[in-house]
Protein backbone atom coordinates (compact mmCIF):
# COMPACT_ATOMS: atom_id res chain seq x y z
CA UNK A 1 0.00 0.00 0.00
CA UNK A 2 1.31 3.45 -0.90
CA UNK A 3 2.43 5.65 1.96
CA UNK A 4 0.16 8.63 2.76
CA UNK A 5 1.52 11.79 1.18
CA UNK A 6 2.18 14.56 3.71
CA UNK A 7 3.42 18.12 3.36
CA UNK A 8 5.52 20.01 5.89
CA UNK A 9 4.84 23.69 5.25
CA UNK A 10 8.12 24.74 6.95
CA UNK A 11 11.42 23.06 7.83
CA UNK A 12 11.13 20.93 10.96
CA UNK A 13 13.83 19.54 13.26
CA UNK A 14 15.81 16.92 11.35
CA UNK A 15 15.04 14.17 13.87
CA UNK A 16 11.32 14.68 13.33
CA UNK A 17 11.53 14.78 9.54
CA UNK A 18 13.49 11.50 9.63
CA UNK A 19 10.92 9.97 11.97
CA UNK A 20 8.03 10.93 9.70
CA UNK A 21 9.81 9.59 6.61
CA UNK A 22 9.73 6.05 8.05
CA UNK A 23 5.99 5.85 7.54
CA UNK A 24 5.00 8.68 5.20
CA UNK A 25 5.84 10.04 1.78
CA UNK A 26 7.13 13.39 3.04
CA UNK A 27 7.41 16.58 1.01
CA UNK A 28 9.22 19.45 2.68
CA UNK A 29 9.60 23.15 2.07
CA UNK A 30 13.30 23.70 1.31
CA UNK A 31 12.89 27.49 1.11
CA UNK A 32 11.41 27.55 4.65
CA UNK A 33 9.31 30.55 3.61
CA UNK A 34 5.62 30.82 4.57
CA UNK A 35 3.32 29.49 1.88
CA UNK A 36 0.84 31.84 0.25
CA UNK A 37 -2.83 31.06 -0.32
CA UNK A 38 -2.23 29.71 -3.85
CA UNK A 39 0.36 27.25 -2.58
CA UNK A 40 -1.85 26.20 0.32
CA UNK A 41 -4.82 25.64 -2.00
CA UNK A 42 -2.66 23.41 -4.18
CA UNK A 43 -1.45 21.53 -1.11
CA UNK A 44 -5.01 20.73 -0.01
CA UNK A 45 -5.68 19.26 -3.45
CA UNK A 46 -2.48 17.20 -3.61
CA UNK A 47 -1.68 15.74 -0.18
CA UNK A 48 -3.40 13.38 2.23
CA UNK A 49 -2.17 15.46 5.18
CA UNK A 50 -0.87 18.99 5.49
CA UNK A 51 1.18 19.86 8.57
CA UNK A 52 0.85 23.64 9.00
CA UNK A 53 2.32 26.10 11.47
CA UNK A 54 1.18 29.47 12.81
CA UNK A 55 2.59 31.17 9.69
CA UNK A 56 0.08 29.39 7.42
CA UNK A 57 -3.18 31.32 7.04
CA UNK A 58 -5.72 28.64 6.21
CA UNK A 59 -8.76 30.88 5.93
CA UNK A 60 -12.11 30.18 4.30
CA UNK A 61 -10.81 31.19 0.86
CA UNK A 62 -8.18 28.43 0.96
CA UNK A 63 -10.90 25.82 1.57
CA UNK A 64 -13.28 27.29 -1.04
CA UNK A 65 -12.52 24.75 -3.75
CA UNK A 66 -13.52 21.29 -4.87
CA UNK A 67 -11.59 18.05 -5.23
CA UNK A 68 -9.58 18.37 -2.03
CA UNK A 69 -7.49 15.33 -1.20
CA UNK A 70 -6.42 16.42 2.28
CA UNK A 71 -7.99 14.51 5.15
CA UNK A 72 -6.15 15.97 8.15
CA UNK A 73 -4.40 19.21 9.10
CA UNK A 74 -1.95 18.16 11.82
CA UNK A 75 -0.94 21.52 13.22
CA UNK A 76 2.56 22.05 14.61
CA UNK A 77 1.67 24.18 17.63
CA UNK A 78 -1.01 24.52 20.26
CA UNK A 79 -2.78 27.58 18.80
CA UNK A 80 -4.88 26.97 15.70
CA UNK A 81 -6.65 30.29 15.16
CA UNK A 82 -4.84 30.54 11.79
CA UNK A 83 -7.01 27.64 10.59
CA UNK A 84 -10.67 28.32 9.78
CA UNK A 85 -12.17 25.59 11.97
CA UNK A 86 -15.66 25.91 10.49
CA UNK A 87 -14.36 25.58 6.95
CA UNK A 88 -12.31 22.52 7.91
CA UNK A 89 -15.32 20.93 9.61
CA UNK A 90 -17.59 21.66 6.65
CA UNK A 91 -15.11 19.88 4.41
CA UNK A 92 -14.77 16.89 6.77
CA UNK A 93 -11.12 17.68 7.45
CA UNK A 94 -9.75 16.72 10.86
CA UNK A 95 -7.59 19.29 12.69
CA UNK A 96 -5.17 18.43 15.51
CA UNK A 97 -2.74 20.48 17.59
CA UNK A 98 0.14 19.88 20.03
CA UNK A 99 -0.89 20.87 23.55
CA UNK A 100 1.15 20.34 26.74
CA UNK A 101 4.50 19.99 24.96
CA UNK A 102 5.28 23.70 24.83
CA UNK A 103 3.63 24.84 28.07
CA UNK A 104 6.75 24.93 30.23
CA UNK A 105 9.02 26.66 27.74
CA UNK A 106 6.41 29.27 26.82
CA UNK A 107 5.91 30.03 30.50
CA UNK A 108 9.69 30.34 30.83
CA UNK A 109 9.72 32.99 28.10
CA UNK A 110 6.84 34.85 29.78
CA UNK A 111 8.85 34.89 33.01
CA UNK A 112 11.91 36.03 31.05
CA UNK A 113 10.00 38.96 29.58
CA UNK A 114 8.50 39.87 32.94
CA UNK A 115 11.89 39.94 34.66
CA UNK A 116 13.59 41.74 31.78
CA UNK A 117 11.10 44.59 31.55
CA UNK A 118 10.68 45.00 35.30
CA UNK A 119 14.43 45.13 35.89
CA UNK A 120 15.16 47.10 32.69
CA UNK A 121 17.51 44.40 31.42
CA UNK A 122 17.02 45.27 27.76
CA UNK A 123 17.83 48.92 28.41
CA UNK A 124 20.86 47.93 30.44
CA UNK A 125 22.27 45.66 27.76
CA UNK A 126 21.79 48.33 25.10
CA UNK A 127 23.60 50.84 27.30
CA UNK A 128 26.54 48.47 27.77
CA UNK A 129 26.81 47.58 24.08
CA UNK A 130 26.74 51.28 23.19
CA UNK A 131 29.65 51.93 25.56
CA UNK A 132 27.50 54.40 27.50
CA UNK A 133 27.71 52.86 31.00
CA UNK A 134 29.56 55.12 33.40
CA UNK A 135 29.62 52.77 36.36
CA UNK A 136 27.45 51.92 39.36
CA UNK A 137 25.61 54.67 41.23
CA UNK A 138 22.61 54.65 43.58
CA UNK A 139 20.02 55.98 41.15
CA UNK A 140 21.13 54.16 38.02
CA UNK A 141 18.40 52.39 36.02
CA UNK A 142 16.00 51.78 38.89
CA UNK A 143 13.51 49.05 38.07
CA UNK A 144 10.58 47.34 39.76
CA UNK A 145 10.67 44.44 42.20
CA UNK A 146 8.92 41.29 41.00
CA UNK A 147 8.87 39.12 44.12
CA UNK A 148 5.72 39.45 46.20
CA UNK A 149 3.80 41.45 43.60
CA UNK A 150 0.38 40.61 42.11
CA UNK A 151 0.39 38.78 38.79
CA UNK A 152 -2.81 38.70 36.77
CA UNK A 153 -3.11 35.87 34.25
CA UNK A 154 -5.64 36.07 31.42
CA UNK A 155 -6.25 32.54 30.16
CA UNK A 156 -5.64 29.83 32.74
CA UNK A 157 -5.00 26.80 30.58
CA UNK A 158 -1.83 24.73 30.67
CA UNK A 159 0.54 27.62 29.88
CA UNK A 160 -1.21 30.02 32.24
CA UNK A 161 -0.95 27.45 35.02
CA UNK A 162 2.75 26.93 34.36
CA UNK A 163 3.21 30.69 34.56
CA UNK A 164 1.37 30.72 37.88
CA UNK A 165 3.56 27.90 39.18
CA UNK A 166 6.76 29.81 38.43
CA UNK A 167 5.48 33.13 39.74
CA UNK A 168 3.81 31.86 42.92
CA UNK A 169 6.32 29.28 44.07
CA UNK A 170 9.43 30.90 42.64
CA UNK A 171 8.71 34.57 43.38
CA UNK A 172 6.00 34.50 46.03
CA UNK A 173 3.59 36.36 43.78
CA UNK A 174 -0.13 36.64 44.44
CA UNK A 175 -2.05 35.16 41.49
CA UNK A 176 -5.26 36.57 40.04
CA UNK A 177 -6.96 34.80 37.15
CA UNK A 178 -9.41 35.85 34.45
CA UNK A 179 -10.69 33.01 32.29
CA UNK A 180 -13.67 32.55 29.96
CA UNK A 181 -14.83 29.49 31.92
CA UNK A 182 -14.89 28.74 35.63
CA UNK A 183 -11.69 27.14 36.89
CA UNK A 184 -11.90 24.17 39.25
CA UNK A 185 -11.36 25.54 42.78
CA UNK A 186 -8.82 22.77 43.45
CA UNK A 187 -6.69 23.99 40.55
CA UNK A 188 -6.91 27.59 41.77
CA UNK A 189 -5.95 26.57 45.30
CA UNK A 190 -2.86 24.77 44.00
CA UNK A 191 -1.42 28.18 43.08
CA UNK A 192 -3.13 30.25 45.74
CA UNK A 193 -5.04 31.87 42.89
CA UNK A 194 -8.28 33.84 42.85
CA UNK A 195 -10.53 33.99 39.77
CA UNK A 196 -12.27 37.23 38.82
CA UNK A 197 -15.21 37.43 36.44
CA UNK A 198 -14.39 40.38 34.18
CA UNK A 199 -11.23 41.70 32.56
CA UNK A 200 -12.23 45.24 33.54
CA UNK A 201 -12.48 44.38 37.24
CA UNK A 202 -9.26 42.39 37.09
CA UNK A 203 -6.82 44.81 35.42
CA UNK A 204 -6.69 47.58 38.08
CA UNK A 205 -5.60 45.05 40.72
CA UNK A 206 -2.51 43.72 38.92
CA UNK A 207 1.13 44.75 39.07
CA UNK A 208 1.84 42.47 36.11
CA UNK A 209 -0.60 41.14 33.50
CA UNK A 210 0.40 38.07 31.48
CA UNK A 211 -1.67 36.99 28.47
CA UNK A 212 -2.15 33.26 27.84
CA UNK A 213 -5.54 33.25 26.12
CA UNK A 214 -6.36 32.01 22.59
CA UNK A 215 -6.04 34.33 19.63
CA UNK A 216 -8.50 34.69 16.78
CA UNK A 217 -11.37 37.06 16.21
CA UNK A 218 -12.97 36.46 19.62
CA UNK A 219 -9.98 37.93 21.45
CA UNK A 220 -8.74 40.42 18.87
CA UNK A 221 -7.69 43.61 20.67
CA UNK A 222 -8.86 42.24 23.99
CA UNK A 223 -6.31 44.67 25.42
CA UNK A 224 -7.24 48.01 23.85
CA UNK A 225 -6.90 51.68 24.76
CA UNK A 226 -9.73 51.54 27.29
CA UNK A 227 -8.31 48.52 29.08
CA UNK A 228 -4.78 49.88 29.10
CA UNK A 229 -6.25 52.89 30.90
CA UNK A 230 -7.55 50.52 33.59
CA UNK A 231 -4.06 49.27 34.41
CA UNK A 232 -1.92 50.83 37.11
CA UNK A 233 0.69 53.31 35.84
CA UNK A 234 3.24 51.09 37.61
CA UNK A 235 1.99 47.89 35.93
CA UNK A 236 3.59 45.79 33.18
CA UNK A 237 1.95 43.86 30.33
CA UNK A 238 3.36 40.56 29.01
CA UNK A 239 2.18 38.75 25.86
CA UNK A 240 3.28 35.27 24.79
CA UNK A 241 -0.18 34.29 23.49
CA UNK A 242 -1.05 35.78 20.08
CA UNK A 243 -0.22 39.21 18.73
CA UNK A 244 -3.78 40.13 17.82
CA UNK A 245 -4.83 40.03 21.48
CA UNK A 246 -3.26 43.51 21.92
CA UNK A 247 -4.00 46.67 19.95
CA UNK A 248 -0.32 47.42 19.38
CA UNK A 249 -0.87 51.05 18.35
CA UNK A 250 -2.73 51.68 21.60
CA UNK A 251 0.03 49.90 23.50
CA UNK A 252 2.72 52.02 21.86
CA UNK A 253 0.89 55.19 22.88
CA UNK A 254 0.42 53.96 26.46
CA UNK A 255 4.11 53.09 26.75
CA UNK A 256 5.32 56.40 25.30
CA UNK A 257 3.03 58.34 27.61
CA UNK A 258 4.05 56.15 30.60
CA UNK A 259 0.40 55.23 31.17
CA UNK A 260 1.81 51.82 32.09
CA UNK A 261 5.34 51.08 33.23
CA UNK A 262 6.37 48.70 30.49
CA UNK A 263 5.62 45.68 28.34
CA UNK A 264 7.22 42.48 27.10
CA UNK A 265 6.13 40.95 23.79
CA UNK A 266 7.02 37.64 22.15
CA UNK A 267 4.23 37.78 19.55
CA UNK A 268 2.95 40.43 17.14
CA UNK A 269 -0.23 40.93 15.16
CA UNK A 270 1.37 41.01 11.71
CA UNK A 271 4.60 39.19 12.44
CA UNK A 272 7.26 39.21 11.20
CA UNK A 273 6.31 42.81 10.36
CA UNK A 274 6.42 44.89 13.53
CA UNK A 275 4.34 48.02 14.08
CA UNK A 276 6.86 50.82 13.74
CA UNK A 277 5.11 52.69 16.55
CA UNK A 278 6.81 50.16 18.84
CA UNK A 279 10.31 50.83 17.53
CA UNK A 280 12.59 52.73 19.84
CA UNK A 281 10.37 52.45 22.93
CA UNK A 282 12.76 51.95 25.82
CA UNK A 283 10.27 50.48 28.30
CA UNK A 284 9.44 47.63 25.90
CA UNK A 285 11.18 44.26 25.54
CA UNK A 286 10.56 42.38 22.30
CA UNK A 287 11.53 38.81 21.37
CA UNK A 288 11.01 37.10 17.96
CA UNK A 289 8.35 34.51 18.93
CA UNK A 290 10.68 32.34 21.00
CA UNK A 291 8.06 30.82 23.31
CA UNK A 292 8.53 27.19 22.24
CA UNK A 293 12.04 27.63 20.86
CA UNK A 294 14.02 24.96 22.65
CA UNK A 295 15.33 21.78 21.03
CA UNK A 296 13.38 19.61 23.46
CA UNK A 297 10.10 21.39 22.81
CA UNK A 298 10.34 21.72 19.03
CA UNK A 299 11.25 18.04 18.68
CA UNK A 300 8.51 17.09 21.12
CA UNK A 301 5.95 19.09 19.16
CA UNK A 302 6.92 17.32 15.95
CA UNK A 303 6.68 13.87 17.53
CA UNK A 304 3.26 14.79 18.92
CA UNK A 305 2.15 15.66 15.38
CA UNK A 306 3.46 12.25 14.27
CA UNK A 307 1.44 10.54 17.00
CA UNK A 308 -1.72 12.29 15.79
CA UNK A 309 -1.03 11.33 12.19
CA UNK A 310 -0.34 7.70 13.13
CA UNK A 311 -3.60 7.46 15.03
CA UNK A 312 -5.58 9.03 12.18
CA UNK A 313 -4.14 6.82 9.44
CA UNK A 314 -4.59 3.76 11.68
CA UNK A 315 -8.30 4.57 11.78
CA UNK A 316 -8.26 5.77 15.40
CA UNK A 317 -9.25 9.07 16.99
CA UNK A 318 -6.20 11.37 17.26
CA UNK A 319 -5.44 12.29 20.86
CA UNK A 320 -5.27 16.02 20.10
CA UNK A 321 -8.20 16.45 17.73
CA UNK A 322 -9.68 19.96 17.94
CA UNK A 323 -11.97 19.81 14.87
Q: pLDDT digits over 94-106, tens only?
A: 999 999 999 999 9
DSSP 146-172: -TT-EEEEE--SHHHHHHHHIIIIIH-
**Topology of domain 5-101+295-313, per CATH?**
Rossmann fold (3.40.50)
- The pLDDT score that the predictor gives to residue 68 is 94
Q: Strand 236-239's sheet: what is its strand order?
A: 193-196, 174-178, 150-154, 208-211, 236-239, 262-265, 284-286
Non-local (6+) Cβ contacts of 136 within 8 A are none
Active-site residue numbers? 242, 271, 289
Phi and psi angles of residue 194, each rounded to the nearest 5 degrees, phi first? -120, 130
Which SS3 state, helix, strand or coil, does residue 2 take? coil
For the chain, give the number of residues: 323
133: confidence class by pLDDT, cuts 50, 70, 90: very high
263: confidence class by pLDDT, cuts 50, 70, 90: very high
For CATH 3.40.50.720, the residue range(s) in the chain are: 5-101+295-313, 103-286
Which helix (H) or strand (E) element contains residue 237? Answer: strand 236-239
Q: Strand 49-51's sheet: what is its strand order?
A: 25-27, 5-8, 49-51, 72-74, 94-96
CATH of domain 103-286: 3.40.50.720
- The pLDDT score that the predictor gives to residue 65 is 84
> Is the predicted pLDDT of residue 1 greater than 90, yes or no?
no
**Cα gap 318→94, rounded to integer Å:** 9
Phi and psi angles of residue 148, each rounded to the nearest 5 degrees, phi first? 80, -5
64: confidence class by pLDDT, cuts 50, 70, 90: confident
Mean pLDDT of all residues in 295-313? 98
> Is the predicted pLDDT of residue 67 greater than 90, yes or no?
no
- The pLDDT score that the predictor gives to residue 19 is 98
Burial 183-210, CB ≥16 within 10 A → b, else e:
beeeebeebebebbeebeebbebbbbbb
- The pLDDT score that the predictor gives to residue 66 is 81
Mean pLDDT of all residues in 18-37? 96
Amino acid sequence: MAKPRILLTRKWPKQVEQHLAKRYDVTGNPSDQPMDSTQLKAALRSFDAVLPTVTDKLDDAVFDQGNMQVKILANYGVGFAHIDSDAAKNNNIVVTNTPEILSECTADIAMTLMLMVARRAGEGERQLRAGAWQGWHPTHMIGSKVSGKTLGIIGFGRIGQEMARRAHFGFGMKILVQNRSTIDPEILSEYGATQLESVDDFLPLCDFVSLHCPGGSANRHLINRQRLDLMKPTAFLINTARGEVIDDSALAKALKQKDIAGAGLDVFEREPDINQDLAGIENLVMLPHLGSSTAETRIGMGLRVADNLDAFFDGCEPKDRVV
